């Protein structure tokens, strides 16, 4: 299934209605307590993010984050000493991210640009390059990912690095979607993945990639992939999780942690790719 005919405004409206992770805290939106809880919850259920981003490594460097959302990773790059340029399609998400860096006294380290990742050359200052281009769980939601990755290459500085996460088609999550919602209708899998890929159902665009097709996506736009790995299986019961309780599904509750980690590396939902320019 192709999502090329989906209007980018439809994608923006979806994320404006409910920015990603916006409900990770019950504290007052925009307060320090709210942002601290959002970060704690995000990294509790996705603990691989800090090591993948490697925030401390980019101290004194220029970081371009494509798809900053409400600014959790943005803030941590800035805290670590990076100069951050953050792009997001959702104006509502960006408003929260701006508030976040203000609350933590980091506004002088972050610039924000609201717009479409497929049109980065129109958004960002001409001639700028970045030591790290980082995008976590974003570019699979744009109707024309190839257009976005083609633009990214021109913004990578010599010796710079791309770190991107897209969804893994051969994952536990996709199997769960297929069995729970698709009733085995594998021929409708692309639509099912899009509909059920996020906490808020009905995402208009979600592509999923294998290790091979993810690598090919980057390589055809001038990147040399140096590492590919899968991570992240969500182990918690959703009815409890939305009530801020962390109760694992019974089949994960009794699984040894070492076995669970092997399962994540084999069938994780997050396909993480690290690349450099060619």
* Helix/strand/coil (H/E/C) assignment for every residue in the chain: CCCCCCCHHHHHHHHHHCCCCCCCCCCCCCCHHHHHHHHHHHHHHCCCHHHHHCHHHHCCCEEEEECCCCCHHHHHHHHCCCEEEEEECCHHHHHHHHHHHHHCCCHHHEEEEECCHHHHHHHCCCCCCEEEEEEECCHHHCCCHHHHHHHHHCCEEEEEEEEEEEEECCCHHHHHHHHHCCCCCHHHHHHHHHHHCCCCCCCCCCCEECHHHHHHHHHCCCEEEEEEEEECCCCECHHHHCCCCCCECHHHHCCCHHHHHHHHHHHCCEEEEEEEEC
**b/e sequence 126-153, b meaning 16+ C-beta within 10 Å:** eeeebbbbbbbbbbbbbbbbebbbbbbb
Residue ranges of domains in the chain, CATH in brackets: 8-277 (3.40.50.150)
For 118, the token pair is 């497929």
Which mean pLDDT values do the consecutive 10-residue runs of the chain (278 residues) have?
90 96 95 98 97 98 98 98 98 98 98 97 94 98 97 96 98 94 85 92 96 98 97 96 95 95 98 94
For 269, the token pair is 């939902």
The C-alpha atoms of residue 199 and residue 221 are separated, in whole angstroms, by: 31
pLDDT tens readout for residues 220-250: 999 999 999 999 999 999 999 999 999 999 9
Read off the pTM: 0.96
Contact call for residues 104 and 39 (beta carbons, < 8 A): no
The C-alpha atoms of residue 162 and residue 132 are separated, in whole angstroms, by: 6
pLDDT tens readout for residues 168-225: 999 999 999 999 888 778 889 999 999 999 988 999 999 999 999 999 999 999 999 9
pLDDT of residue 1: 63
């Amino acid at each position: 299934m192709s999502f090329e005919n989906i209007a980018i405004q439809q994608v923006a409206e979806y994320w404006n209605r409910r920015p990603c992770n916006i409900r990770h805290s019950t504290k007052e939106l925009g307060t320090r307590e709210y942002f601290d809880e959002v970060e704690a919850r995000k990294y509790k259920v996705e603990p691989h993010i800090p090591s993948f981003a490697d925030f401390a490594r980019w101290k004194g460097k220029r970081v371009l984050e494509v798809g900053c959302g409400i600014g959790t990773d943005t803030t941590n790059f800035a805290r670590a000493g990076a100069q951050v340029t953050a792009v997001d399609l959702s104006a509502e998400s960006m408003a929260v991210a701006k508030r976040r860096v203000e609350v933590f006294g980091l506004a002088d380290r972050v610039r924000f640009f609201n717009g479409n990742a497929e049109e980065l050359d129109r958004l960002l200052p001409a001639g700028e390059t970045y030591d790290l281009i980082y995008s976590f769980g974003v570019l699979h939601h744009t109707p024309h990912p190839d257009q976005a990755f083609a633009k990214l290459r021109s913004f990578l500085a010599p010796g710079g690095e791309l770190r991107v996460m897209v969804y893994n088609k051969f994952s536990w999550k996709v199997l769960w979607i297929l069995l729970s919602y698709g009733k085995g209708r594998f021929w409708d899998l692309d639509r099912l993945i899009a509909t059920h890929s996020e906490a808020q159902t009905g995402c208009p665009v979600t592509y999923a990639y294998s290790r091979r097709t993810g690598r090919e996506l980057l390589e055809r736009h001038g990147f040399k992939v140096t590492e590919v790995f899968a991570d992240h299986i969500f182990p918690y019961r959703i009815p409890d999780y939305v009530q801020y309780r962390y109760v694992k599904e019974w089949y994960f509750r009794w699984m040894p942690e070492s076995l669970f980690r092997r399962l994540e590396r084999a069938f994780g939902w997050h396909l993480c790719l690290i690349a450099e320019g060619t």
